Amino acid sequence: MSGRRDGRRGTARPAAPKLAGPKPAAPKPAAPKPGGRKPAASKPATGRPAAASGPGRDFDDDDEDWGFEPGERDSLTDVPGGVRLQKVLAAAGVGSRRSCEELIGAGRVEVDGEVVRRFGARVDPRTQIIRVDGKRIPASEDLVYLALNKPAGVLSTMSDDRGRRTIADLVADRSERLFHVGRLDYETEGLILLTNDGELAHRLAHPRYGVLKTYLAEVRGPVPRDLARRLTTGVELEDGTVTADRFRVVEQAGSRVLVEITLHEGRKHVVRRMLAEVGHPVSRLVRTRVGPVSLGALRPGTSRRLSTAEVGNLYAAVGM
């Protein structure tokens, strides 16, 4: 047995027994490897709720605009009880909530002429004008914009005291009070726009704005080579000269010729009268386009909602 010697007797003293002591301290965490990620330092509490990072974060109704530098704010006054801007954009069909936030962050959204970069900005979509990339969007959910394919034998009116079929019968499932933009003859088919946006409907129909309208017409042939020049130079009618903006022959088969004509005029029966005056009376007439909106493959007697882009292009066409 090992031990130390007693100085007086020269004998070995037994070693003191080892007592149980406190548990050894836990080892310190290993230092991060070179190039590794350092643990984030804790920050003192600020009293603000933690905000998720990135443009895709979601907002509650009482969210504020945490995380924005003072220089990024704008002078737009939030509307009390208004709707968050990104929610208005998403509801208008601009894109998903996340993509709308990215548009806002990139400075591509204006409210009443001012660029807004705050995701939480609150607006009134019924009274404020909102634009994306300079084009106005249909922000109010109360406004309706429809494209209708009017068949022949239907009146371009919302009612008829003689009980004849009208375009109102084709949209009888709609509860809104709709205006038709311009008219089509009783026997003329094709695109007619319907909306409850009174200002837009008025401007689209007003000659001052010169909104182009395109038609396909089946006429008697053959068609002379100089017909396009005659129509685009101007044809004299009983109520004044009318000029086509564009004209082309689409198809020609014997005595049947299909032509396309584009005008900004809105006079009664103007296409039929114009082509009859130059010796080519119309046997069938279909309107295929109004401004930026195309008839496409829409079936006769049916309607569809216009896209956000189509409505924005209509606004632009009439300076709204």
Q: Which of 318, 290, 292 is closest to 307 using CA atoms?
A: 292
Contact 59, 65 (CB under 8 A): no
The catalytically annotated residue of 62, 78, 185, 245 is 185
In terms of pLDDT, which residue wins out, 34 or 276? 276
> What's the pLDDT at 25?
52
Going from N- to C-terminal start, the domains of the chain cover 70-136, 145-208+299-314, 212-290
CA–CA separation, 235 and 59 (whole Å): 61
Angle at 260 between CA 254 and CA 265, to 5 degrees: 135
pTM: 0.71
Residue 139's pLDDT band, with cuts at 50, 70 and 90, is confident
Q: Which CATH number fits domain 145-208+299-314: 3.40.50.1100, 3.30.70.580, 3.40.630.10, 2.40.50.140?
A: 3.30.70.580
Each residue's pLDDT tens digit, 291-318: 999 999 999 999 999 999 999 999 999 9
**Count of other CB atoms within 10 angstroms of residue 195:** 22
Q: Are 250 and 259 in contact (CB under 8 A)?
A: yes
Does the pLDDT value for residue 68 go beyond 80?
Answer: no
Residues 77-123 have pLDDT tens digits of 888 888 999 999 998 889 899 999 999 999 999 999 999 998 889 99
Q: Half-sphere exposure of 145 toward its Cβ, with a 13 Å CA cutoff?
A: 22
Q: Does domain 70-136 bear CATH number 3.10.290.10?
A: yes
Confidence band, pLDDT 50/70/90 cuts, at residue 320: confident
Residue type present at position 295: L
Domain 145-208+299-314 shares a fold with domain 212-290: no
Is residue 286 helix, strand or coil?
A: strand
| Axis-axis angle for helices 308-317, 198-205 (nearest 10) | 60
Q: Minimum mean pLDDT among 58-62, 169-173, 285-289, 291-295: which range?
A: 58-62
Top pLDDT among 94 and 29 is at: 94
Percent helix / strand / coil, the chain, rounded to 5: 20, 25, 55
The pLDDT mean for the chain works out to: 81
Cross-strand partners of 193: 147, 181
Active site residue 133: no
At the second CATH level, the architecture of 212-290 is 2-Layer Sandwich (3.30)
